[in-house]
């Protein structure tokens, strides 16, 4: 049997068209849509996630010295404080809630006020550490310098 060129399966047969790859949406110069980096890379973390990590670092540093006293203290991050009934002219950076009945003591750090007060990432790290130290000191009835000997220093501490 002789195969004619142009017939299916023969040496001169046309190949089926290859489907085109979908192009990333970049109409009108708006940039590529979708993820820029994988989730494991620090670049992909949001500002809120990076801020949560700063608070966790500050708490872990204090727990090394005050593990027993901080065992029943919860730490939280909220975007902004609720200012209902607030009669002051300034916005708080954090707040400590003493234990009430079955509820444990809580320290809440407010992300947006702290971010707006800090001038650099280093300043933000230092400010978060000082704010957490102040609230823990208030809960324990001690001075911030007793809680963290590096309290108030501008540089990184450990």
Per domain, the residue ranges of the chain are: 42-81+92-147
pLDDT at residue 152, rounded to an integer:
81
Architecture of domain 42-81+92-147 in this structure: 2-Layer Sandwich (3.30)
Given a contact cutoff of 8 angstroms between Cβ atoms, the answer to whether 51 and 111 are in contact is: yes
Banded pLDDT at 158 (limits 50, 70, 90): very low
Closest of 32, 50, 33, 52 to residue 41, by C-alpha: 50
Percent of the chain with pLDDT over 70: 70
The three-class DSSP label of residue 98 is coil
Question: How many C-alpha atoms does 109 have within 13 Å on its Cβ side?
Answer: 28
Given a contact cutoff of 8 angstroms between Cβ atoms, the answer to whether 132 and 62 are in contact is: yes
């Amino acid at each position: 049997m002789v195969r004619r060129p142009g017939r299916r399966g023969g040496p001169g047969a046309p190949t089926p068209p290859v489907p085109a790859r979908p192009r990333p949406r970049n109409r009108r110069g708006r940039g590529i849509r979708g993820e820029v980096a994988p989730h494991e890379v620090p670049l992909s973390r949001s500002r809120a996630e990076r801020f949560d990590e700063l608070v966790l670092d500050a708490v872990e540093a204090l727990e090394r010295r005050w593990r027993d006293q901080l065992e029943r203290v919860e730490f939280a991050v909220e975007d902004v404080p609720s200012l209902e009934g607030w009669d002051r002219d300034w916005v708080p950076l954090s707040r400590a809630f003493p234990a009430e009945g079955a509820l444990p003591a809580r320290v809440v750090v407010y992300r947006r006020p702290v971010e707006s007060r800090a001038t650099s990432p280093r300043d933000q790290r230092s400010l978060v550490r000082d704010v957490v130290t102040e609230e823990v000191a208030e809960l324990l009835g001690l001075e911030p310098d007793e809680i963290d000997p590096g309290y108030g220093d501008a540089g990184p501490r450990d």
